[in-house]
Amino acid sequence: MLSFCESLHIRYNQPMLRLMCITAHPDDEAGGFGGTLLTYRDRGVETCVICLTPGQAASNRGTARNDPELAELRRREFAASCEILKVSQPIILNYPDGQLYRQELNRIVYDLTMRVREFRPQVMITFGAEGGVTAHPDHSMAGIFATLAFHWAGRANRYADQLKDGPGPHRAQKLYYGTADFALPNRPPITFPPQTAIIDISDYLEIKIAAFKAHKTQSPLWPLFEQNARRRGKSELYHLAASVNAGELHAETDLFAGVDPNE
C-alpha cells in the first residue's frame, strides 16, 4: 500500500514526452508538420504548436473585409486544424504576418524562451532558415527565433528575470528542422538542410490533408497542397540541427530516439 505522498509522487513524476512545434502561419502546422504531430500524439506524446502570426496578410482572404477579420477567421481555422491534429496545446500569437523579419529579434525570442521553459519539451521542430518548401521569409524567421529559444531556454543567464517566479531553465534535448527533397514547381531553387530523420506518416496522410482543409480561407491553395502532400507521400523529413547527444550523425526514424523522458 502506497502512502498518500508516494502515490502523489508517482502521479506527478510520470515521465511525459513533450513535442513543441514553432510555425509562422495558420496552416503551417498541417502543411509542414501535420503527420508528425499526429504520429506522436497517438503515441501519447503531449504536443504544443506555437504559431507566431494569425496570418492576416494572406492573399487568400475568404469573406474577410480587412486584416482583423481575416485574423479572426484564421484563428478559428487554426483551432479546428489543431483539433483534427489532436494538438494538446495550440497557441496562436499576434505578431504581424509578412513582417517577422522586421520585428525586434529579442522580443520574440524572449516570448518563445518563456514558452519553452513553461512547456518543457524534450524535442522541438520548426523550419530551417531556408523557409521550407515555400521559402517564405516568415518561415525562415520562425526557425531562427525558435533556434535561439531552444538554446537560450536552458541557460540561466539568458532572460534571468523569467526565472525569478517562473519555471526554471529548460534544456530541450533535440532540435529539428522540417526539410524536403523537392521544391514547388515554377519557383526558384531552394537549398534544403539534408534529411537525417524520416518519419513514417502513412497512417496519417489523409487526416493531415483534412487538417489543411480546415483552413477554409485558404481553399484556393488546397489543390496545390494536396498534390504536394501526396507527392511527399508517406513520410515527413527532418534535419537534426542540435542534440544534447552530439556526435556522429545517424539516420533516424524517430524524433524521440535517445531522449530521456525524465528531463
> Which residue's CB is nearer to Zn ion, number 25 or number 117?
25
Q: Measured from the CB of residue 44, what is the shortest distance to Zn ion in angstroms?
A: 28
Q: Measured from the CB of residue 24, what is the shortest distance to Zn ion in angstroms?
A: 5
Q: Measured from the CB of residue 28, what is the shortest distance to Zn ion in angstroms?
A: 4
Strands 197-200 and 235-243: antiparallel
> Which residue's CB is nearer to Zn ion, number 137 or number 154?
137
Is position 215 an interface residue for Zn ion (rule: CB under 5 A)? no
Is position 28 an interface residue for Zn ion (rule: CB under 5 A)? yes
> Which residue's CB is nearer to Zn ion, number 18 or number 25?
25
Given 21, 22, 25, 259, the residue binding Zn ion (CB under 5 A): 25
Piece in contact with Zn ion (CB under 5 A), picked from 22-30, 168-176, 209-217, 230-238:
22-30
d(CA 28, CA 94): 15
> Which residue's CB is nearer to Zn ion, number 17 or number 221?
221
Number of residues that bind Zn ion (CB under 5 A): 3
> Which residue's CB is nearer to Zn ion, number 85 or number 259?
85
Is position 77 an interface residue for Zn ion (rule: CB under 5 A)? no
Is position 74 an interface residue for Zn ion (rule: CB under 5 A)? no
